[in-house]
Chain A
Amino acid sequence: MTQDVTHILPEELLLAYATGRLPEVFDLVVAAHVSISDEARARLDSFDAVGGVLLEDTAPAAMDAGSLDACMAMIAGAPPAPRPEASRSIFPAPLHKAVGGGPEAVAWRPMGMGVRQAILAETRGASVRLLSIPPGAAVPDHGHRGMEMTLVLQGAFEDEFGQYHRGDVEVADEEVEHMPKVIGDETCICLAATSDRLRFHSLLPRLAQPFLRI
């Protein structure tokens, strides 16, 4: 399940992921995005080409005497890694693994107005969650304390910066204030990660914040 994706993760964030420097909370979003967008995958894999060149040129560090034998013992009798199964749902493999199944396995919690969410991981204000937003609904106008990364898995949304369809990822930082609104007649399912709590402008969502844990 792949398609042409308009909003690809910026190069420097792909590079940060490639080299293991992106905050952990965004790993799942990037892995899912790259699983859907072949353009993002090609960009990401082109960094490995550089890594390969550097590895080839690295001064070898002598291995211990029994090293090859130890490795041979490790591989002896080990069956080859099984062929991975292609994803069959709207969840690409890394998300399927994180959830422990497809969309039917998600423990959704209703948040009112037909919006549902499921927090997949949360540490010290950083979180990664699934959001399900019905057609026509909007997320209240908000800014961000840290970085927010939103990947569309189903349906589409629109804000001041453009339209986002399956596979598209929107990155928002402290400067960005937006009010994403679901477009089309399909429920919009997104995977979103934030490195810090969002900053809402109107009082009501701010009061609700501790409960929604956004």
Chain B
Amino acid sequence: MARIREARDQAAFAELFQHFAPRVKGMLMKSGSDAATAEECAQEVMATVWNKAAMFDPSRASLAAWIYAIARNRRIDMARRASRAEPEDLPWGPEAEPDQADALAFQQESRALADAVQRLPEKQRTLVERAFFGEMTHGEIAEVTGLPLGTIKSRIRLALDRLRREMTRP
């Protein structure tokens, strides 16, 4: 990802595309898109990954989480035929960068969360997946909030605090 961000490296992008585009397409098909729409949409999502590469912050998100969010937003915009109101973007400035140690710690937490999700009983895991891929109704969703998100949330909060301090520095 750093090669895409800093060197606009197309070979690195091709690798990323091979890994994530089929998964994004799979996710969109699970949420009800037909294959042709999902294909087109996955291409657009990956193009956005390229265009917004500078906004990716490894101290606040895994690459998969960031790409998931882009795909999710695209899915919602399509369903509503309008662009949804999204929170203000908070990227690092052109010079300042997130702390390497923060990024490393975040990626570790992210792996721990992945383990926790994998340990979920099959039935519950399916529920979580349906909630996040957008197939579930509002009532069902209350059942999926039991995941251990506390540490991930604290990590994101810490990274945001550092970012805010950097943004207000004279």
Contacts and interface: CB of A to CB of B under 8 A. Distances in A.
Interface of A: 2, 11-12, 15-16, 18-21, 24, 27-28, 30-32, 34-35, 38-39, 41-64, 67-68, 70-72, 74-75, 78, 80-81, 83-84, 86-87, 92-94, 97-98
Given A59-B26, A75-B47, 7 more contacts: A20-B75, A21-B134, A49-B61, A60-B26, A67-B43, A80-B53, A93-B88
Interface string B99-119: 000000000001001100110
A184 to B, nearest CB: 24
B21, B24, B85, B128: residue with the most chain A Cβ atoms closer than 10 Å: B85
Given A48-B69, A92-B88, A58 B51 contact: no
A34, A43, A45, A80: residue with the most chain B Cβ atoms closer than 10 Å: A45
A27, A53, A67: residue with the most chain B Cβ atoms closer than 10 Å: A53
A50 B128 contact: yes
Interface residues of B, number: 83
Contacts of A55: 20, 23-24, 27, 64-65, 67-68, 71
Interface string B30-60: 1000010011001110110011111100001
A45 B60 contact: yes
Contacts of B44: 74
Contacts of B24: 55
A16 B131 CA distance: 9
Interface string B71-90: 11001100110001111111
Contact of B87 (A19, A41, A50): A41
Given A11-B145, A46-B149, A52 B68 contact: yes
B142 interface: yes
B157 interface: yes
A32 B29 CA distance: 31
Contact of A54 (B22, B60, B89, B132): B132
Contact of B133 (A32, A54, A68, A72): A54
Contacts of A28: 85
A55, A92, A94: residue with the most chain B Cβ atoms closer than 10 Å: A55
Contacts, number: 212
B132 A50 contact: yes
Contacts of B118: 57
Interface residues of chain A: helix, strand, loop or mixed (majority): helix
B14 A68 contact: yes
16 contacts: A18-B72, A19-B141, A38-B157, A48-B61, A48-B65, A50-B117, A52-B63, A57-B114, A58-B23, A60-B23, A62-B22, A67-B21, A68-B14, A75-B13, A81-B51, A84-B89
Given A52-B67, A54-B68, A27 B43 contact: no
Given A58-B26, A74-B43, A93-B89, A20 B51 contact: no
Nearest to A93: B88
A27 B22 contact: no
A126 B43 CA distance: 35
Contact of B55 (A41, A49, A56, A81): A81
